[in-house]
Every structure is written in C-alpha cells, then in structure tokens.
C-alpha cells in the first residue's frame, strides 16, 4: 500500500493481523446472526464474545500501522504528490459515505426511527474520519515525527474524553452520534479512533524503517506497549475508571502483533492469495455484512437464531469461502479495469 521509489518489504505481521481479524469478523457475525439463543450463555459464550470484541480493535490498530507504513515512512514524497493526497482524502470521504449507506433506514416505521438508524456511526465512518485527521496532520505538521507524537497525544485524548462525551448521546443528533454510543452508534470516534491513532504512533516507534526494522525493536516496542496498556486497563477495571479500562483490548492486540512479528520473522512475504485477501478487507466486510444483516433479504433475517454449534460452524466455513472467492473476483475485476484504463491512455 505504500508509495515507494524502490521495492519495499511488506510488514508481514500487519497482513497476518488483518487476516486473523477478517476471519474473526466473519465467524463472529455469522454465529451472532444464526446461533441458537440457548447457546448464548455460560463461560464459553462469554469468552467467545470477549475475543470477538477484539476484532474491531485489531482492524483499527492495523489501519494505524498501515498509515505509518504507507505515508509517514516517506511523508515528503506523499505530500509532493497531489494525486496521492487526493486519493487519500477521497478514500477517507468514501469510507464515511459508505458507512452511512450501510445503515440506510430501510424498513423504518417512523421518521424518528429512520433518523436514528441513518445516523449511526459504524467502523467505516470511524476509520474514514480518522484517516482524514491523520492526512491533515501529515499535511500540516513539519515532519513524520511530529505526526507520530500528535497521533499518540490525540489517541490518548480520545480515550480520556470518552466519559465526558458519552452522555451527549442522550440528546440524539448527527454530531452526537460521532462521540457517543448512547444514541445507537457502534464505533463513535470517541473513543474508538484512539485505537487507530495509537496504532499510528506505535508504528512510528516500532517500525521507523518499515519492514526493514529489526525484529527485536519491533517486538520490544509492540510487546512493551501491549504489557503497559493491558496493565493500565486492568487497573482501570479495578479502580472503576472506564476510560482507562478500555486500554485492555488495545494492549492485547498490541501483544498479539508482537507475537505475529516473532512468528513471521523468517517470512519475507505471504503467499500471493493471502496478501490479496489482506488487502481486500473492505470488500470482505461489506459483502458479508450485507449478506447477513441486509434488511428483509439478509440470511440472518431469513434464518434467525436457529442453528446449533455444528451447523453454525458449517455456515462460518461456507460464508468464509464465499467471501474469499468473491474477494478474488473483485480484485481481478479491478485489475482488469486498471489495465483497460492504462491501455486507453497509451
């Protein structure tokens, strides 16, 4: 994803983190949509639910890592390319628009309900706005180090502000949806953008030379940050400080990233198909969510909570294979379109 003048090694652990999160996303949504109500209890279900909750954190954290690798490693070159800047700004704006399209109030029974559903801020809007913020920092600040420190400070601020902004959702509105869960938003930027912002900041410390950075440094930074955030999160739970407690999940994902760095230290690149899937997470997200939760025609609405665990896992396997196959087809279609455009300009 990074603009580069010479071939640059891929950070394999980031691709692995995306792939793990993608599978977790599909299996989590599939079982949530189709699993029998009788299975939604007990310690096993509670553990599954908690691990499933790490999926969104993983995607946001990976998005922050990717911004560093794609932009901050050569910020001057990025700023010098008007096309690259336009593409980034367009990407952020498109994610916001797509997020709202995913929540069109189809079937709403009143104007108030339509406004409530249509105003929900989901993960795509959160990533899109955070991407625009990071791009703005990259254009406004002097160098990449300043962007790194600013992203870290804003990330911590987003967690700190959450207890103050959460009550704003009691008065529903398009703006309050961006900073509060209370009116129905799933991923308001306060505090969720903090995961992506801190991912960018940690990447600056852990990957100053991109994938060429020593495994030891990357592991120590991500692992050390993971331990610190996890301990702070546990302290937050213990002292009933919700903003601090939210750092637990970020810490666990950072620790997982450190383990992936160690596990992939002798892997130069993943197989091409896996790299492709890691780059098509947006398609995977949109396709399986529409298929499962689409109003009136979604599999979840048609089947309901009927499947036992065995059939639920079979559904996970089928949907995972279908999503991957269509992602390959989508990628091939984009490549063919790009070749046609290039040939028409030649």
Q: Return the pLDDT at 10.
A: 83
Q: Return the pLDDT at 3.
A: 38
The predicted-structure confidence for 186-202, as pLDDT tens digits, reads as follows: 999 999 999 999 999 99
Q: Return the pLDDT at 289.
A: 94
Q: Return the pLDDT at 8.
A: 56
Q: Return the pLDDT at 184.
A: 87
CA 189 – CA 99 distance, rounded (Å)? 13
The residue with tokens 């070749």 is 339
Q: Return the pLDDT at 7.
A: 44
Contact 75, 138 (CB under 8 A): yes
Q: Return the pLDDT at 252.
A: 98
Contact 193, 155 (CB under 8 A): yes
Q: Return the pLDDT at 213.
A: 95
The predicted-structure confidence for 107-117, as pLDDT tens digits, reads as follows: 777 777 788 88
345, with CB counted inside 10 A (0-12, 13-18, 19+), is exposed
Contact 198, 151 (CB under 8 A): yes
The overall average pLDDT reported for the chain is 92
Phi, psi of 301 (to 5 degrees): -70, -35
Q: Tokens representing 284?
A: 């995977």
| Cis peptide bond N-terminal to 273, omega within 30 | no
What secondary structure does DSSP assign to 133-155, as a single string?
Answer: HHHHHHHHSSSHHHHHHHHHHHH
User: How many CA within 13 A on the CB side of residue 300?
Assistant: 16
Low-confidence stretches of the chain (pLDDT beneath 70): 1-9, 172-173, 295-296, 346
Q: Return the pLDDT at 2.
A: 39
Q: Return the pLDDT at 112.
A: 76
Q: Return the pLDDT at 1.
A: 40
Cross-strand pairs, 35: 307
278, with CB counted inside 10 A (0-12, 13-18, 19+), is buried
Q: Return the pLDDT at 169.
A: 76
Task: Report the predicted TM-score, pTM, of the whole model to 2 decimal places.
Answer: 0.93
Length of the chain: 346
Q: Return the pLDDT at 6.
A: 40
What secondary structure does DSSP assign to 233-256, as a single string?
Answer: HHHHHHTT-HHHHTHHHHHHHHHH
Indicate the domain borders of the chain: 8-40+271-346, 56-268
């Amino acid at each position: 994803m990074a603009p580069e003048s010479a071939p640059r090694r891929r950070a394999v652990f980031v691709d692995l983190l995306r792939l793990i999160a993608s599978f977790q996303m599909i299996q989590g949504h599939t079982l949530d949509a189709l699993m029998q109500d009788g299975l939604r209890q007990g310690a096993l279900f509670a553990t599954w639910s908690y691990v499933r909750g790490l999926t969104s954190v993983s995607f946001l954290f990976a998005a922050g890592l990717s911004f560093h690798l794609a932009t901050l490693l050569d910020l001057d070159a990025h700023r010098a390319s008007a096309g690259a800047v336009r593409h980034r700004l367009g990407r952020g704006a498109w994610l916001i628009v797509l997020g709202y399209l995913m929540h069109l109030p189809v079937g709403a029974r009143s104007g108030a309900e339509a406004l409530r559903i249509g105003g929900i801020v989901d993960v795509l809007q959160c990533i899109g706005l955070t991407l625009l913020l990071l791009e703005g920092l990259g254009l406004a600040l002097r160098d990449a180090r300043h962007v790194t420190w600013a992203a870290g400070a804003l990330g911590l601020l987003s967690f700190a502000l959450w207890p103050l902004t959460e009550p704003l959702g009691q008065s529903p509105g398009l703006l309050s949806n961006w900073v509060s869960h209370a009116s129905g938003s799933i991923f308001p930027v306060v505090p969720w953008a903090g995961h992506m912002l801190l991912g960018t900041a940690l990447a600056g410390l852990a990957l100053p030379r991109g994938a060429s950075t020593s495994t030891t440094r990357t592991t120590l930074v991500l692992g050390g940050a993971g331990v610190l955030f996890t301990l702070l999160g546990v302290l937050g739970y213990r002292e009933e400080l919700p903003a601090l407690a939210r750092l637990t999940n970020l810490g666990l994902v950072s620790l997982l990233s450190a383990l992936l760095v160690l596990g992939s230290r002798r892997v130069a690149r993943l197989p091409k198909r896996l790299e492709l899937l890691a780059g098509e997470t947006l398609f995977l997200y949109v396709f399986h969510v529409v298929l499962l939760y689409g109003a009136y025609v979604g599999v979840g609405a048609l089947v309901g909570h009927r499947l036992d665990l065995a059939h639920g896992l079979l559904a996970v396997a089928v949907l995972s294979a279908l999503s991957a196959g269509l992602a390959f087809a989508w990628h091939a279609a984009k490549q063919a379109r790009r070749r046609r455009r290039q040939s028409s300009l030649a």
